[in-house]
Structure 1
Amino acid sequence: MVPRQRGLVASSQEGHRSQICGTGAVGDQVAKMMAIEGLDGSGKETQTRLLESRLRELGLDVVSLSFPRYGQTSAVLVEEYLGGSFGASPKSVNAYGASSFFAMDRFASYLREWKKLYERCDVFLADRYVMSNAIHQCSKLPCEEWDGFLEWLFDFEFGKLGLPKPDKVFYLHLPVKESQRLLAQRCQSDGLLMDIHERDVEHLRKSQAAAEHCCGRYGWEQVECLDNGKLRRIEDIHEDIWERVGF
């Protein structure tokens, strides 16, 4: 096998939501920037692709990118971290350090690669984005420290670095057990190895809890991937997302 390569309670919620959500729109109809988040195996890439295709059918200029930018120099520290170069456990690098790895990848690639694309397109879709740091790095901290960390994170990436804020965030909610099953199938069929996040079940459980916390605090759109314990059809999940896009 080869190492794996991968391409908001209204008043208070609105205050928190402004930390991570912009106000861009295309003719007051659709968000300028949307991000799709979720644990591995939840179908982020597939749902991003389906949303991109449907928006293009409306004649919109759509740019879609996945993060991290694997294979590029900006993602070297991310690849080393996930590959275990700094330790076999996600906690080998603390939440602030690891967040910086991913943030610098987004920042460098923004300056070199996608800033102009973002500025000229009608809609920008991100398969994972800043919110992935919120999900995976909160899991390393006690729950009582989550909100302080999130304040720091969004100020750092959106404020200090100046990365664009998404107008909508969709979180594909999939139980960890099902995520692990689907991920194992994919790794086996593609001859890939799990990274240090993917093979640490406790990390993923805490990440799921962090994601649910963020959905409540920041108003992310939580999209269920299971119905009565069974995987929903890909097309049904897409329709659920589409109904919330803004048309």
Structure 2
Amino acid sequence: MGKLLVLEGLDGCGKQTQTTRLCGAFEQAGTPYRRVSFPDYAQPSSALVKLYLQGAFGTSPQDVNPYAASSFFTVDRFASYRQFWQKDYEAGKVIVADRYTTSNLVYQLPKLPRGEWDAFTDWLLDFEYTRFELPIPNLTIFLDMSPEAAESLLEKRYRGNAEKKDIHEKSRTFQQAGRQAALYAAQKLQWQVVSCDTAGHLRTPAEIQAEILQIVRGQALL
């Protein structure tokens, strides 16, 4: 079997940039890898995800319970795995994922009372890794960024057009809750945490990449 490396973080934290840089490092090292990203918007399997994020089932994330919403993303991942990267994974390649099961924890846990987080986490891991038989990550790196900094980067991405944001991105309160959920999951599931901003100042992509590469090499994945 190969290895599964996941980059996780709030919207706007720079996951795509760091995924690209990390894949470049694998390319340079001659390490066989495959890049995947979730949701897989180019495929029909993401149809329910799109409807949910566009507000078709309710304009607030809270309008869809976390178990139902999680299932939309899980099915999309299952379709991607079985159609596109299962063979590469089983052949020994490193799979570099921009988001994964981990995102269901970041964005669905905030919908529940804190006392239910452990039970939901146990349910989700069983649902995706046992029931759907999806690979378990060998390493998850959470790119931690303050919601304020992430929102600023999202504003630049969408050029101030709030209509382009999905129902998760539109709510600063929900993003803040997502960060707390992610830090809980990082501690519970032993994710590696990389801080993307300190004392209100953004670190450069190169600085963040250097820390990520140190972690990846320390886990003998590169």
State the TM-score, normalized to the length of structure 1.
Answer: 0.85
50, 58, 62: which one aligns with 2:29: 58
Q: Is the 8 A contact 2:162 2:170 kept in 1?
A: no
11, 14, 20: which one aligns with 1:40: 11
The residue identity in structure 2 corresponding to 1:212 is L
How far apart, CA to CA, are the structure 1 residues paired with 2:36 and 2:42?
14
Which consecutive aligned stretches of 4+ in structure 1 deviate over 6 angstroms post-superposition? 189-192
The Cα shift of 1:227 comes to 2.5
Gaps of 5+ in 2: none
The Cα shift of 1:191 comes to 9.6
How far apart, CA to CA, are the structure 2 residues paired with 1:182 and 1:71?
24
In structure 2, the residue corresponding to 1:198 is in which secondary structure?
coil
Partner of 1:219: 190
58, 80, 86: which one aligns with 1:87: 58
| Aligned-residue identity in percent | 41
Partner of 2:199: 228
Q: Is the 8 A contact 1:172 1:225 kept in 2?
A: yes
1:172 has 2:143 as partner: yes
Partner of 2:173: 202
1:163 has 2:134 as partner: yes
Partner of 1:132: 103
Partner of 1:153: 124
Q: Alpha-carbon deviations, 1:151-192, whole Å to 9, x = none?
A: 000000001100011100000000011111110110118997
RMSD: 1.6
Q: Is the 8 A contact 2:155 2:161 kept in 1?
A: no
State the TM-score, normalized to the length of structure 2.
Answer: 0.94
How far apart, CA to CA, are the structure 2 residues paired with 1:134 and 1:65?
19
1:184 has 2:131 as partner: no
How far apart, CA to CA, are the structure 2 residues paired with 1:166 and 1:106?
13
1:190/1:196 CA distance change after superposition, 3 Å: closer
The residue identity in structure 1 corresponding to 2:131 is K
How far apart, CA to CA, are the structure 1 residues paired with 2:7 and 2:21?
12
The residue identity in structure 2 corresponding to 1:55 is F
How far apart, CA to CA, are the structure 1 residues paired with 2:88 and 2:56?
33
1:98 has 2:66 as partner: no
How far apart, CA to CA, are the structure 2 residues paired with 1:189 and 1:88?
19
Deviates more, 1:38-47 or 1:119-128: 119-128
Count of paired positions: 218
Q: Alpha-carbon deviations, 1:37-69, whole Å to 9, x = none?
A: 001111101111111111121111110011000
Q: Is the 8 A contact 1:65 1:126 kept in 2?
A: yes
Q: Alpha-carbon deviations, 1:106-157, whole Å to 9, x = none?
A: 0112112221122224211000000000110001000110010000000000
The residue identity in structure 2 corresponding to 1:48 is T
Partner of 2:215: 244
Write out aligned runs for 1:70-81 (5 A).
70-81=41-52
Q: Is the 8 A contact 1:63 1:121 kept in 2?
A: no
64, 71, 82: which one aligns with 1:111: 82
